[in-house]
Amino acid sequence: MPQTERSRDQKTREDPAPLIVVTETGGRSLVTALDREAELTGLTMGMTLPDARAVFPAVVVVPADPAADAALLDRLVAWCGRYTPWAAAEGRDGIFLDVTGCAHLFGGEAAMCADLTVRLESFGFTARAALADTPGAAWAISHFGESGTVVPSDETRETLARLPLAALRLDPATVSGLVQVGVRTVEALRNMPRAPLAARFGDVVGQRLDQVSGDIREPISPHMPVVPFRARLAFAEPIALMADIERGMRHLLDDLCQQLAQAGQGGRRLVLTLYRVDGDVFDITVGAARPARDPDRLARLFGGRLSGFEPAFGVEVMTLTASVTEPMAPAAPALSVAMRHVTAPDAAFCGDRLAPLIDCLGNRLGFDQVVRLAAIESHLPERMARARPALANAVTFAWPSLPPRPLRLLRRPERIEASVPEQALQESPERFRWRRTDYEIRLAEGPERIAPEWWTDDGAAKTRDYWRVEDMAGRRFWICRHGLLRPGESAEWFLHGLFA
Amino acid sequence: MTGYIELQVTTNFSFLRGASHPAELVLQAAALGHPAIAVTDHNSLAGVVRAHVAAKEAGIGLVVGARLDLADGASLLAYPIDRAAYGRLSRLITVGRRRAPKGECILYREDVLAYGDGLIFVVLPSEPADKMLDAQVDDLRVTFPGAVYMAAQNLCRGDDRRRLALRADLAARLDVPLVATNDVLMHGRARRPLLDVVTCIREKCVIDEAGWRLEANAERHLKSAGDMASLFQGHESALDRTVEIAERCTFSLDELRYEYPDEIAPDGEAPQRQLERLTWQGAKWRYPGGPAAEVKKTLEHELALIAELNYAPYFLTVHDLVQFARDKGILCQGRGSAANSAVCYCLGITAVNPSRLDLLFERFVSAERDEPPDIDVDFEHERREEVIQYIYEKYGRDRAGLAATVISYRSRSAVREVGKVLGLSADTIAALTSQLHGRSSDPVTDEQIREVGLDPTDRRIRMALDLTAELCGFPRHLSQHVGGFVMTRGRLDELTPIENAAMEDRTVIEWNKDDLDALHILKVDVLGLGMLTCIRKGLDLIKSHYGVSYDLATVPQDDAQVYDMLCQGDSIGVFQVESRAQMAFLPRMKPRNFYDLVIEVAIVRPGPIQGDMVHPYLRRRNGEERVEYPSEALKGVLQKTLGVPLFQEQAMKVAIVGAGFTPSEADRLRRAMATFRHTGTIHTFRDKMIDGMIARGYDADFAERCFRQIEGFGDYGFPESHAASFALLVYISAWMKHHYPAVFACALLNSQPMGFYAPAQIVRDAREHGVPTRSPDVNFSKWDCTLELDEAGKGAYALRLGLRQIKGFKAEDGEWVEAARNNGYADPAAIWRRAGLNGAALEKLARADAFASMGLSRREALWAARRFIAANALGNAKPLPLFEAAGDDGWGLDTPVTLPDMTLGEAVMADYSSTRMSLRAHPMALLRERFNDATPAEALVETDNDAWVTVVGLVLARQRPGTAKGVIFATLEDETGVANVIVWPKTFEKFRRVVLTSRLLKATGQLQREGIVTHLIAERLEDCSPSLDSLAFPPADDAQAPRPAPPPKSGFRHPRNQNTVLFPSRDFH
């Protein structure tokens, strides 16, 4: 049950609360995996979530994530490479291993089986393993027999005889069809005449029986790792001149960019590895703000970084790997600049022009040092902008049209003393005192009323009334009053920002 | 200070836009001292009636209006100045709604020009103003001179002075006067959180990400004239114009006089004359010897009253429907306040002979209360659609429409939406909903929150619950009423807008039954009732098999045997009294006559239960308590029910006689309870009633109970007249059950789904009443269940189950099997060939063991059917003609195979899996020897009270009624009968899983008996379901010790788990 185990990691391991994994299908939430505690409380597979809750209200529910499960299973398959190169994932939660000729390395078949389950269990998985002559038989016994069984060649048939039909990897409809006519075990099925069986349930029934007994071969297609984008250059003689190294790098970039273009990808992170004759290996990593596969541009990114490299006695091998890539549309021939002004005045255009700057700054200062202000949807001025990594391309940096806001917002509104004429309480003050200086207000516009975000603020936050005011000297301020005005109450005034 | 009237008000009937109920807005306006208020919902008049009612109560004016959102121009506020203009506005909205999908409205500028006569328009320019605005305003101004204004708001956005000045300039340039509004979305600023939540629900976003979609502040609430004046300094004339507009709009919803359709009196005969003619004709038919003098007097009296109130057309309308149904052979029965009158009896609207009751006509149709009569007509549920289509055909779609039902947020739906908006995880929301059972609007306690593993002090969770409580009762969308029809003489769409319903061929008006009620607009309820279908089928069977013909009115009355049966609580399948509570109640109530049945139907209801009236009544009836009356005045009211108010009418009468309410006040009280719950007037009524009764010398406790009872009626009002109509069906179904048990079971099965019991219990009950039953068979069964002559018993009939009992088998296939049968089918291939059934259908028949008459066992039949499925999959859907002639199926030779025989247990379980019942044996009969310690259910009757016993049975139902907090009632069935198990909350917590998931349950505890009702108070519970599995899958003879259960393999269901679906029970969760 990889799903459960993965989720268990998110909780503390000591947490004894039962956990179930739930998949939404056709508007219903069904339990598709559960841990041992959940099983003990009486929850079962295929239960609906409301039923499960009724049985155990405090059950921990985790939504299913089939993609993550599959990824985890893939990693396990790769890990199984330690036993045999012939490993393949089976279904959602199984792995086939062809251990022909490998078992003696682990002290025999039984020992290998035990080693495998012990290791998997130490990872936190519940593992069931069986070893038999055919994949079908091994599957049957691992699912419906005793875990750890090693079936001797001549006992396959006997061992399988009593297992239920589901052990043959038949689909549920076929199994229930056969069970209904009274055929319940593998042996009973084997004793049926094949022809009428095939006329009713198709050839697959016979096929499965033959696969189990080995009369039909069932090959295992092994897991193959994905090859990354990579280019390599080896020199007959070590090269030590910087110009040669740069030329070599240029060669590698051309090669790699071509690979990327064919795959419709662009590089976000590239690693240049230099193998020196003396055995030292150097990695130079560069990042790009947006996926790139333009050799010139990438060469510029490497340019500055390469200068710090000391070739010593020379470099004999260079490799270039694109370790992070993203899909990138095929490059269209650029339109004339004039056209682009008309058609793309938006963020995309800015992005195009900003990207080289961000690359440049980022590769020098580190990408975590380069930020941009992004708009956050909030009416509260202090929450409206947030610095985001400039590389974060999922963020839109577009800004909406809003009432005028000061260029400089104080980090924290500063209290001011303001006087409001008694007869015009709803109006802005006539003068105020800020940082020990008095300002007399000549012009004012407002109020702009902004209510607190009740869902985040505590109850104490108050509605604010903002005024844009200009003093006699033409200085413009953004001042606000906290709280709605009530007669007889003195208002609190703050200065929150400065216009030009 | 200038006067001010708010003209732009969006209520929560602009779904997910407004954040206040119409009544809240009206009351707030009244509190602020506004002389009137307008209601302008988006393309809708759905909320105006509620506002109208509230405005009348609050004593302020209401400007009816709507906001028209146009597809090609600026939005407009529109207010009709008179009735004719209102009709045009209503038609305009109808036009927009009929051309759009359900719930939407598409309107264009030209529509407004076409229907805008007599409307006052306020233009709402967009910002910045649209290019089209000039043309639009010009068109309006020229077409409707003097009727066009432009709105301006000051919503504290910072630059409002500038905005106002610009808007004033625009208005001046376009030559229309400026009018101030506040674009109100809520009645007070405290509603802002809810407004934000509602916005998020509409925008389908989380509150933390809603950002600028929310309002920046809480200014869009109703403001006082003073506040508005300070906001509109320099634009005072814009404020004055609000009053000016309101004064021009003199239209009131009270002017919507209902007019009856003409069709009912086709020959120009006056409706009253026609009604009288039909009534006296009917009297001759009902009373073959001529009506008795007393009846004659009653009829004359009622007719006079009808004439006085001019209700003849209404009675004729209902009569017309009933006549249509009778011509088509559709059984129907009227109920409702006016239905149980002598006139209705003569017209055939009801079959309850009014002389058997003592109901005063005036009580329901009263001149002084000016309340319209109320007649609902129940039709057979399978044939109601015919009646509906008849109405549409007769009156046309522009004159007949279904009333709406306002679907409101209930706690479950509300918490789900609010939770989503507040960003609670799906899991947390599910946990919260699990605590909110059904429709209750009780607040969720900290205890309950902790129980599901959440933290009640968590701010978001608290917030979610508070907002949920506020959102509850908000309308969410309009749906169609189950059958309330409004028919008019003129165009219906000039009364209220009509829109498309979700169902094809249906149109719905915008008002629900309370709205119609409030405006005294009559509607006829055309409802479907399953029991009528059943009775009609039963009466048909009696006629065809026994040669006796009955109808609702001629079934022999006062049959003591029938009452004897009911007194025993033997009422499975009987209308209304078959529920567990009723079955327990019957033996205590011991009904002996028709009126007892009327009480029986009315008493087990929320009203009397909440009012704690049930036990006092029973005690008095059984002579355990002296019958006494709270006062001489109330004796007249309560005499029939031994001094205990049971019916809705009595509770109202108590308010009138006992607490000094006027009849119309009492009626308002009932309405306040039932419908407009948010007017906040309930408390004044409560004080008035209780104080009034105490002042008149009644017991405070009695007064409190009477009020609680009225509260209980709020949800399910159950008047005596309804009870009387139902009681007749109770009697007839009981009569049929007693005298023709086979017919009754057959008719019940053929009317499924209906009622309380599954077919298995109905069949079992029939067998217990001596009806031989036979399983479905392709050579004998029809689609429906039928009666077959039983060779053993002389002239008795056996029940042959129909093919409809087979799970998943289609009616069409069933009819083909029936039609192509001729002299019978010799083998499965014959059905395949002649009836054209495919392999899958044959397999379903085989699974039900329906080939037994061919000498095929279930497994042999399945084996044969399988071949046709495989053939289908290969595309050989039909046999080759040549082979067919040769009697060969054309697929070559089939090697015969020997299949293992089924054990009895396997057969029983297979029966259950295909037909949800078995005629062979009850699973418990086969398992009995394993449970030596268990007492059979039938033996419980003779077991001592307080004895310690164990019962084992299939779980038929698990219930957790809202009235019994946390107590679980489980019904267990074994081969001898049914046992009722009660699980107290403490025990439940201990055996939670067992109680909730067992299919076969073993319960041990103490026996408790009250009258003849026996309960087992469970102390220990055990899940015995594995025993069922061993029946279905018996271990082979040479079986070794069972292996440890394999881990469940995801994705498919192990056959051993299949049984979980075999015994579905009715569960509360």
Please give the pLDDT value at position B794.
66
Please give the pLDDT value at position B48.
95
Question: With an 8 Å Cβ cutoff, are A55 and B997 in contact?
Answer: yes
Q: Which residues share a beta bridge with B259?
A: none
- From A125's Cα to the closest Cα of chain B, the distance in A is 13
- Tell which wins on pLDDT, B1057 or A265: A265
Burial of B700 (0-12, 13-18, 19+ CB in 10 A): exposed
Give per-residue pLDDT as tens, B83-102. Answer: 999 999 999 999 999 999 88
Question: With an 8 Å Cβ cutoff, are A449 and B1058 in contact?
Answer: no
CA angle B1055, B1056, B1059 (to 5 degrees): 90
Q: What is the mean pLDDT of chain B?
A: 84
Give per-residue pLDDT as tens, B477-515. Answer: 888 887 888 888 888 889 999 988 877 777 889 998 888
B171 falls in which pLDDT band (50, 70, 90)? very high
Please give the pLDDT value at position B118.
94
- Tell which wins on pLDDT, B259 or B124: B124
Give the residue from chain A lying closest to B868, CA to CA: A200
Distance, CA of B392 to CA of B400 (rounded, Å): 6
Mean pLDDT in residue range A126-139:
88
Please give the pLDDT value at position B978.
85
B146 falls in which pLDDT band (50, 70, 90)? very high
**What percent of chain A has a predicted confidence (pLDDT) above 70?**
86
Partner residue facing A45 (CB), from B162, B867, B1048: B1048
Interface mutation vs chain A, best among B161, B191, B217, most A CBs within 10 Å: B217
**What are the start-end ranges of the H helices in B568-719?**
580-589, 594-603, 606-610, 614-621, 632-638, 648-653, 659, 663-674, 682-695, 700-715
Structure-block tokens of residue A315 = 């470099």
Side-chain half-sphere of B1067: how many Cα atoms within 13 Å?
14
Mean pLDDT in residue range B817-824:
87
Give the residue from chain A lying closest to B459, CA to CA: A455
Q: Which residues contact B350 (CB under 8 A, 6 or more apart)?
A: B333, B334, B335, B339, B340, B344, B725
Give per-residue pLDDT as tens, B235-257. Answer: 999 999 999 999 999 999 998 87
Please give the pLDDT value at position A71.
85
- Tell which wins on pLDDT, B980 or B310: B980
Distance, CA of B1061 to CA of A51 (rounded, Å): 14
Please give the pLDDT value at position A195.
85
Q: Which residues of chain B make contact with A377, given a CB cutoff of 8 A? A: 209-213
What does the radius of gyration of chain A's CA atoms come to, in whole angstroms? 35
- Tell which wins on pLDDT, A313 or B145: B145
Please give the pLDDT value at position B447.
75
Which of A14-28, A30-44, A449-463, B1022-1036 is the least confident region? A14-28
- Tell which wins on pLDDT, A326 or B192: B192
Question: With an 8 Å Cβ cutoff, are A166 and B1069 in contact?
Answer: no
- Tell which wins on pLDDT, A8 or A76: A76
8 A C-beta contact, residue B260 and residue B313: yes
- From B777's Cα to the closest Cα of chain A, the distance in A is 19
Give the residue from chain B lying closest to A195, CA to CA: B895
Question: With an 8 Å Cβ cutoff, are A196 and B894 in contact?
Answer: yes
Q: Is the peptide bond before A403 cis (omega within 30 degrees of 0)?
A: no
Question: With an 8 Å Cβ cutoff, are B1055 and A192 in contact?
Answer: no
pLDDT at B178 over 90: yes
Calculated CA dihedral for residues A108, A113, A114, A116, nearest 10 degrees: 120
- Of A203, A167, A216, A204, nearest in space to A188 by CA: A167
Mean pLDDT in residue range B1003-1032:
86
Question: With an 8 Å Cβ cutoff, are B452 and A54 in contact?
Answer: no
Mean pLDDT in residue range B170-192:
94
Please give the pLDDT value at position B92.
96
- Tell which wins on pLDDT, B391 or B1057: B391
Please give the pLDDT value at position B674.
60
Cα B140 vs. chain centroid, distance in angstroms?
45
Phi (first) and psi of residue B604, to 5 degrees? -85, 70
Give per-residue pLDDT as tens, B944-980. Answer: 888 899 999 999 888 876 656 678 888 899 988 888 8
Please give the pLDDT value at position A338.
39
Distance, CA of B1067 to CA of B1069 (rounded, Å): 6
**What percent of chain B has a predicted confidence (pLDDT) above 90?**
34
B1059 falls in which pLDDT band (50, 70, 90)? very low
8 A C-beta contact, residue A325 and residue A260: yes
B181 falls in which pLDDT band (50, 70, 90)? very high
Inter-chain CB pairs, A–B, below 8 Å: 172
Mean pLDDT in residue range B765-794:
87
Give per-residue pLDDT as tens, B698-741. Answer: 888 888 877 777 776 655 557 777 888 889 899 999 999 999 99
Please give the pLDDT value at position B786.
92
Question: With an 8 Å Cβ cutoff, are B430 and A61 in contact?
Answer: yes
Three-state SS letters, B582-616 = HHHHHHHHCCCCHHHHHHHHHHCCHHHHHCCCHHH
Residue B828's identity, in one-letter code, is: P
Does B210 lie at the interface with A, CB-CB under 8 angstroms? yes
Which of B336-340, B594-598, B912-916 is the least confident region? B336-340
A2 falls in which pLDDT band (50, 70, 90)? very low
**Best-predicted range by mean pLDDT (B359-368, B373-382, B439-448):** B373-382
Q: Which residues of chain A make contact with B219, given a CB cutoff of 8 A? A: 449
Distance, CA of B733 to CA of B574 (rounded, Å): 5
**Best-predicted range by mean pLDDT (A18-22, A155-159, B905-909):** B905-909
pLDDT at B1028 over 80: yes
Please give the pLDDT value at position A124.
78
Q: What angle separates helix B192-203 from helix B459-471, to the nearest 10 degrees? A: 90
Q: Is the ipTM of this complex over 0.85?
A: no
Give per-residue pLDDT as tens, A315-336. Answer: 988 999 888 888 887 655 444 4
Distance, CA of B87 to CA of A391 (rounded, Å): 61
B29 falls in which pLDDT band (50, 70, 90)? very high
What does the radius of gyration of chain B's CA atoms come to, in whole angstroms? 34
Please give the pLDDT value at position B96.
94
Question: With an 8 Å Cβ cutoff, are B1040 and A400 in contact?
Answer: no
Please give the pLDDT value at position B125.
93
Please give the pLDDT value at position A342.
36
Phi (first) and psi of residue A165, to 5 degrees? -60, -30
- Tell which wins on pLDDT, A309 or B592: B592
CA angle B585, B590, B595 (to 5 degrees): 100
H-run or E-run covering B730:
helix B720-739
Residue A472's identity, in one-letter code, is: M
Which of B333-337, B530-534, B705-709, B731-735 is the least confident region? B705-709
Q: What is the mean pLDDT of chain A?
A: 81
Question: With an 8 Å Cβ cutoff, are A456 and B1053 in contact?
Answer: no
Does B437 lie at the interface with A, CB-CB under 8 angstroms? no
H-run or E-run covering A408:
strand A408-419
**What percent of chain A has a predicted confidence (pLDDT) above 90?**
10
Please give the pLDDT value at position A351.
53
8 A C-beta contact, residue B842 and residue B828: yes
Distance, CA of A56 to CA of A41 (rounded, Å): 7
Question: With an 8 Å Cβ cutoff, are B157 and A403 in contact?
Answer: yes
Please give the pLDDT value at position B198.
95
Which of A481-490, B229-238, B409-418 is the least confident region? A481-490
pLDDT at B1044 over 50: no
Which of B268-272, B468-472, B979-983, B1002-1006 is the least confident region? B268-272
pLDDT at A363 over 80: no
pLDDT at B872 over 70: no
Q: Which residues share a beta bridge with B87?
A: none
CB atoms within 10 A of CB B733: 27
Partner residue facing A51 (CB), from B161, B162, B1069: B1069
Mean pLDDT in residue range A106-119:
88
